[in-house]
Structure 1
């Protein structure tokens, strides 16, 4: 009779101990009780020591069996986890992905990729939420969050998706009524449209300038639209303003002054990262073309 390989023998022994009986282990593994008993005998014969004391009512571990169980149970668990991960790596993406993204970047960069991704993987369902508020991935039940700006939560796994160039803009009508800024400090004399009321300290040319805000929009697209309507200056991603800059409905301010580059980042938990669907989507996003090519999709 061919002996079972070491790992299957160890796995079966661990399951017997965990289930408390040969019959229960057989039911858990989908094997006859006789097969479980035979493989246990083979394992004990190979080791040269009894592992279990059998009685009509229960099983108990010998001293050797207890020490052996304590040593091999973590090994079996690690092997089972490794096997599950390999199977997951090669599984076809399927299931539900709940994704949250900031409105501007989500509309410009994420939504178009999702459409092509879902055509390739028909077994994947996606629930997409576009909003600019902060979320807690675990508490709010999201698999993936995509955000622009600095990331503070170090417990999440993060991947940079893109560097986003920023611009300071104003409408021609605004500049007809106000002096055109010549240096960063001049921005403080202009009313600003901001996405949040605490976003009033702009890093411009190595200086920090505090601008007075007139309107807080809660949304970068609305911020751009308000600047285009002549309500004040705005600090927005270049891809949002690109079409308006080309048409002349917005003017770039301080074009020769260095501005910070904002990052778009994908965030997810380690547990969510086990999903074949999420890994396939991340591969798509990380291999995608630059954000600027989708600027026309933001309503510019």
Structure 2
């Protein structure tokens, strides 16, 4: 079997079309089409159903793709490792990371990684949207509580939780009195926040008076005394310790988990492995307090 033709078939199958594969690889569309046709001829089967505007794997094509994609990835990674000096990280590493984590911690993380691995060209894009790793050429993404994705594998490297905080000058909530609130994004219309305190669970009525697009903006507004807010403990831990903010209680909300995600493959590139190790060294326990200390040191 022609490995070059098989590799081109996998490229087209992974991107879902000859045009997308050609743009991603910087190769002529006609060349990919000819190679796939040659592979179909040598195997004596159709690998794709070709429509006027669609391209769909046949049953045989899907079976071939599922059984060979991982093997070809391992071959590519092994060849790259050999030609680049073994397991020494080098080359371009593209990462997508969420806004708040990038603003508070990624600068220091990136600098430390660059000093440790000067032969890696690190490129970090800050965005909260769900990116297509293959289509957009990312090697690694960092996401908060991501939806399950069968095409990706990953692990949690940090955990955080929401707390309800306010300025010391702001009166604590009392029954039936709405508290001025600062929220992220457009107001969701929530009339109350559920809260956990040493005395148990309770609820406080809220009235959003500021809607801001950044949690850093929300924190600064709360510091100024305009209202209360639900914020990650890592972002306000030192404000609480210094008395700039007071803790009303923990928000009765799901845990915040930061994940690293990458394409499912048995052999990770040396660059990705090195960055994963860098994260582990920076946050060995992955606790909110650890992140808070890192953010404070970065600031």
- TM-score (norm. length: structure 2): 0.61
2:247 is the alignment partner of 1:252:
yes
- Separation in structure 2 between the aligned mates of residue 238 and residue 288 of structure 1, nearest angstrom: 18
Q: Secondary structure at the match of 1:180?
A: coil
Cα gap change, 1:212 to 1:107, in 2 (>3 Å): same
2:111 is the alignment partner of 1:115:
yes
2:240 is the alignment partner of 1:241:
no
Cα gap change, 1:79 to 1:202, in 2 (>3 Å): same
Aligned to 1:192: 181
Q: Secondary structure at the match of 1:278?
A: helix
Give the count of matched residue pairs.
224
Correspondent of 1:220 among 211, 215, 218: 215
Cα gap change, 1:229 to 1:79, in 2 (>3 Å): closer
Cα gap change, 1:127 to 1:86, in 2 (>3 Å): closer
- Separation in structure 1 between the aligned mates of residue 218 and residue 136 of structure 2, nearest angstrom: 27
* Unpaired segments ≥5 residues, structure 2: 7-41, 43-65, 284-289
Q: Secondary structure at the match of 1:232?
A: coil
Aligned to 2:102: 106
What are the within-5 Å matches in structure 2 for residues 50-61 of structure 1? Answer: none
CA displacement at 1:224 relative to structure 2: 0.5
- Separation in structure 2 between the aligned mates of residue 141 and residue 207 of structure 1, nearest angstrom: 46
The answer to whether the 8 A contact 1:197-1:213 is kept is no
- Separation in structure 2 between the aligned mates of residue 272 and residue 213 of structure 1, nearest angstrom: 48
Aligned to 1:44: none
Aligned to 2:292: 292
The answer to whether the 8 A contact 2:94-2:123 is kept is yes
What are the within-5 Å matches in structure 2 for residues 110-259 of structure 1? Answer: 110-131=106-127, 133-138=128-133, 139-148=135-144, 150-155=145-150, 156-173=152-169, 175=170, 179-181=171-173, 189-197=178-186, 200=190, 202-205=193-196, 211-254=206-249
1:140-186 Cα shifts (integer Å, max 9, x gaps): 443332233x221423323111111322111123x1xxx4136xx77
Cα gap change, 1:88 to 1:166, in 2 (>3 Å): farther
CA displacement at 1:253 relative to structure 2: 1.0
Q: Secondary structure at the match of 2:161?
A: strand
What RMSD over aligned residues (CA atoms) do the two structures have, in Å? 3.8
Select the structure of larger CA radius of gyration.
1
- Separation in structure 1 between the aligned mates of residue 107 and residue 257 of structure 2, nearest angstrom: 18
